[in-house]
Chains A and B, each alone.
Chain A
Amino acid sequence: MSQDLDASLELEYGTENAVLPFLRQDRIPHIWCPGCGIGTTVNCFCRALSDSGLDLDKVAIVSGIGCTGRTAGYLNLDSFHTTHGRAIPFATGLKLANPDLKVVVYSGDGDLSAIGGNHLMHAARRNMDLMVVCVNNYTYGMTGGQVAPTTPIGPTQTTMPFGNFESPFNLPFLADACGAVYVARWTIYHVRQLAKAMREGLQKKGFVFIEALSPCPTLYSRRNRLGDGVDQVKYYKERSTIKNGADTKEVGLGYQGDIIVGKFVDRERPTWLDSMNSHLTKVLGDRFQTYGAPNGKD
């Protein structure tokens, strides 16, 4: 377990839930199934927001489509529920138009790594100043449990009715290879570490990629006789090993196999906007209008 956990992450019983102010309470109840882990990640995210010290008026959240894509709609921030796979390019435009925003992309594995895979690669390559939270439940939940680029070899999905035979993505390796400056993976068993990673991600400048493994009891676990959400959390607990700084090549996931979690990458690279400003200042001198005054008012 991680050593330096924040006392503020402790849930206090009998008091008002600390995450309530971060939610659009007029949109509750949410659509997520019993045992689903997305809500747990949102809880971690709210605590990370709380601990980050950021002005919440200056935090925007962008989601794509799918179960995790609904996250934007529940958070009491400037929030954008975009098209399937395109949360990252939308967020890119939002961030560049108004650079004093902290822009978070919050979406699922199918949205970010299948239909949106190209955008994930290029935003990481550019070191766009975005924090991407990828909730990986190994499946397409909203559409009924189809195979995803993250589905391990073996389990049955509606479009792999005889078991999946396609190799899955190792998402931390992908993000690392493309240039992300911060890459971490936790499961929803590791709520404190996940919240801490999110807080670090919010405070980090550059492209941050956080993978959160999360059960889909309705469509992934039940179909593969893996029990309910609690059974999956038990699996995360039993089979996870924390290896901060692990070589991301080595953190691929097998079906119900060992899970390596931790903060794998934490490095510095100039962001796209910093690179643009420094390069054009060098080349154009006084003629260049340095870009990025507060509140988008350049």
Chain B
Amino acid sequence: MEATLQADPRGVLTGVHFIDGDHAACEGALAAGCRFVAGYPITPSTEIVERFASRIPTVGGIFIQMEDELAASIAIQGAAWGGKKVLNVTSGPGLSLMMEHLGYAFITETPCVWVDVQRGGPSTGLPTGPAQADMMQIKWGSHGDFEVIALAPNSPQECFDLAIRAFNLTETWRVPVFLMMDEVVGHMTERVDIPPAAEIEVVERKWTRKRPGEYQAYGTTAEDPVPEMIKAGDGYRVHITGLTHDERGYPNLTPAAQDRMVKRLVNKIRLNADKIVDVREDGVEGADVVVVSFGITSRVAMAAIDQARAKGAKVGSARLVITWPFPAGRIREIARRAKAIIVPEMNMGQMVLEVERAVAGATRVISLPHAGGTVHEVETILNAIMEAAR
């Protein structure tokens, strides 16, 4: 599989820090080897690019503020084909502008990490208030069929840790990988431990060892659906296109080529979802009620779960550290034993749709939507747990 290395110490700010999630995400990117960011300012994500702009000159790399999010989200892809590990940073309105380039990254299999520090929407919405309302946009927002990987940190420490993991996942699978933060996790300040570089595992790009002439830009095998990569300037003379293409990367606009390409691209993730998903469970076995949550909401949920347990309720927590691909198999198993699953989320009911799909009527699914602007009240989740446990 992929080559793993230790992090380049130049990018690793080893030590104990008291920083917010935005800054921690930036440090995670630097530790993972990110050396190119094209940004565009947008609240509440801007601190990530501000920190990168001040850090990168002494680490060695490029920050450029582009003219808009359209430019930023494609400049990073040019840089990826120039050989760099790249990061794209935005929030809701910017994310909407970037949707076409999400599709481009997917069809061209360009490794890139996208941070969305979610704020209240729709449209300009609540620039300085949190939400988790872009969960379906990243899953479905670009046209055509595609798959992404998405991670949902619930603390500044996780913004650091999961940023590194996001880079490792995008190099492993060559799909765009999202770090789905929100305004609260982005702006909350907590202790962040950054380990020595030697303790940080970094996945190297899947560089080909084939020679020009032998190499095909999208040559894959049944065993390994992820193609090897090159960078421009190495003599391979590749052609990369957003059109439907064949193994050589050449446009092929036939139904057969479309079938072959789209199936390989989506199956790369769908058939390997079990290797990617990450559900952190707490007291799920034997629980009557299980709260399925992600991101900052999982911390509010945990407070409610603790209080419910103190009142004698058998409550478990299943936190989706990775939301996409969705851990449908595990949720299905949980549904077989729990009386109810509660899904609090800072949106009007998005991931609950996936939970319902996985559960398929096997147990009761209770949605706890919240329009955003602040996190849930603990009591709201507590009351729902106590009522469901009754």
Contact = CB atoms under 8 A, between A and B. Distances in A.
Given A93-B36, A93-B76, A98 B58 contact: no
A94 B67 contact: no
A289 B11 CA distance: 12
B232 to A, nearest CB: 4
Contacts of A272: 64
Interface residues of B, number: 47
By secondary structure, the B interface counts as: mixed
Interface string B62-93: 10101110111011111111111010000000
A80 B64 contact: no
B74 A82 contact: yes
B82 A96 contact: yes
Contacts of B250: 24, 26-27, 73
Contacts of B330: none
Contacts of A24: 239, 250
A140 B142 CA distance: 24
Interface string A53-71: 0000110101000000000
Nearest to B81: A94
Contacts of A100: 233
B82 A95 contact: yes
Nearest to A99: B82
A119 interface: yes
Interface stretch (A34-42, A43-51, A165-173, A290-298): A290-298
A210 to B, nearest CB: 21
Contacts of A92: 38, 64, 66, 71, 75, 78
Interface residues of A, number: 47
A235 to B, nearest CB: 33
Contacts of A89: 38, 66-67, 70-72, 74-75, 78
Contact of A90 (B10, B77, B234, B251): B77
A97 B239 contact: no
15 contacts: A58-B233, A73-B239, A78-B81, A86-B74, A89-B71, A93-B38, A94-B81, A96-B64, A97-B36, A97-B81, A97-B83, A118-B68, A119-B71, A272-B64, A296-B231
Interface of B: 10, 35-36, 38, 57-62, 64, 66-68, 70-72, 74-84, 86, 100-101, 104, 231-243, 250-251
Given A89-B38, A89-B70, 20 more contacts: A58-B233, A60-B233, A62-B78, A72-B241, A81-B239, A83-B74, A85-B70, A86-B74, A89-B67, A90-B75, A94-B81, A97-B79, A97-B80, A101-B232, A118-B71, A122-B66, A291-B60, A291-B62, A296-B84, A296-B233
